[in-house]
Amino acid sequence: IMQKRGWTDSGGNYIPVVRIETPPDCILSEIELEEFKKEIPSYAYERGLNLDTCKKWELGFDSNPKDPRLIFPVRDIEGRLVGISGRTIIGHSSKYKDYTGFKKSNFLYGEHLASTKLPLVLVEGQIDLLIVDQYVGDLVTTLCILGCLPSITQCEKISFLAHTRPI
C-alpha cells in the first residue's frame, strides 16, 4: 500500500521526511459507524453527489428527527476510523457536529486516500472535497481541512503529503 501511494521507493524506503502518528486514543471502533450506515439522505444527491461517490466515502445518515445530518466518517492516513462528522440537512444553526469526541484539528478529511503521485488540492469542507473527487479524483489528491483554518498538525500533514509535488 505504501509503495502504491508513492510513500516509498522501489526498495521500500520511506520517501517523506516526516511521519505523523495517530494518537491511540483517537482510533475508534468501526461499530461506532454502524448506526449511520443504513441510508444516504437525499440531501447528498441534492448537493450534486452521485451514488458511487457516496459509497466510496462511506457517507451515512443520522436520522434524529430534530437534527438530521449527512454523516462523514473520517479516517487517518492508514485508513483507521478516527472521527465521525455530521452536516445538518435542515439548516440547523450548528452546521457541523463532531461525534464521539472527534479531534478534527488532528486530521484531514481524505488523508486515507492521499497519494504523493498526484497534485494536491486543499478545500475547506467535506462536500467541497467530494465534488472535486467525483469529477477529477483520478487526476488529483483532494484533502479537506475540516474548517476555515488549518491547525499546526494539519499543516504538518499537508507538508508531509505535498513535499514531493505541486499544490
pLDDT at 161: 81
* pTM of the shown model: 0.85
Exposure string of 43-70, with b = 16+ CB inside 10 Å and e = fewer, is: bbeeeebeeebbeebebbbbeeeeebbb
Report DSSP state, residue 25: G
Q: Residue length, the chain?
A: 167
Question: Is pLDDT at 77 greater than 70 in this prediction?
Answer: yes
Decide if 51 contacts 41 (C-beta within 8 A).
Answer: no
101 CB neighbour count, 10 Å cutoff: 10
pLDDT, one tens digit per residue, over 41-75 is: 999 999 999 999 999 999 999 999 999 999 999 99
